[in-house]
Amino acid sequence: MLKIENLHKRFGDLVVLDGVNFEVPEGTTTVILGRSGIGKSVLLKCIVRLIEPDKGKIFIEGKNIFELTLKELNELRKNIGFLFQSSALYDSMTVKENLAFPLLRHTGLTNKEIEERIKEILNLVGLAEAISKMPSELSGGMKKRIALARSLILNPKIMLYDEPTTGLDPVTSKEIAKLIIEMQKKFKMTNIVVTHDMVVALSTADKILLLENGNFIFEGTPEQLLNSELDIAKKFLSTKLD
């Protein structure tokens, strides 16, 4: 589904990605684990070309995204959902209007079909009662759920999660992790989850990649990470909540 070859990105003298390589098989969840500010979000944004890398190739469904026209790239982006770290809801719109926005922009659905789709997706994330609320009326966990609903509303093939539990309490973090698993199973999507949250990493991943100093120093299953002798892996594991 997705393949990255020799990806490089630097900002001035700061090397963020230094020859990154990895593949994400279709229908699986890959977690990219790493400390805050290490370059995980930059990697995600390179995948959708919100940030242009300095060097390297990214293939999505066999297509090199750097060889696509703008029109082709925008068509490809319709198949990619992106849950931003900040949730990125439109503050001046209700929940219903936030969810309707991508449908109005990218589909030819009728108003009735849009309303049905909104109600369906809100039920899936457990927030049907929030349809008329403004973002300012939502808790942090509710905002994440609404943002996830908006990301899913176009039925993407690939979901990118950028620190989905940042700023949330442990209980809500576990609920979001559970929701990631449920949505992946229901829609059979390919997931990439960027996080420094061990609960999310261990509970959602088929494969975990540990990013450090611009490249991956570990690639394996959650079980293999738990048995790893890497010092940085042990530091992450020491933060795991029971």
Express each pLDDT in 115-126 by its tens digit.
999 999 999 888
In contact, 154 and 74? CB cutoff 8 Å: no
Beta-strand (E) ranges in the chain? 2-11, 14-24, 29-33, 55-60, 63-64, 80-83, 158-162, 190-195, 207-212, 215-220
Q: What pLDDT digit, counting tens, does each position of 151-184 carry? A: 989 889 999 999 988 888 888 888 889 889 988 8
In contact, 150 and 158? CB cutoff 8 Å: no
Domains of the chain: 1-23+45-77 (3.40.50.300), 78-194+203-215 (3.40.50.300)
Interval 37-62 mean pLDDT: 93
Write down the pTM of the prediction.
0.87
Residue 241 has pLDDT above 50, yes or no: no
Q: Which residues, 6+ apart, have CB-to-CB distance to 49 below 8 Å?
A: 65, 66, 73
CA distance 225 to 154: 34
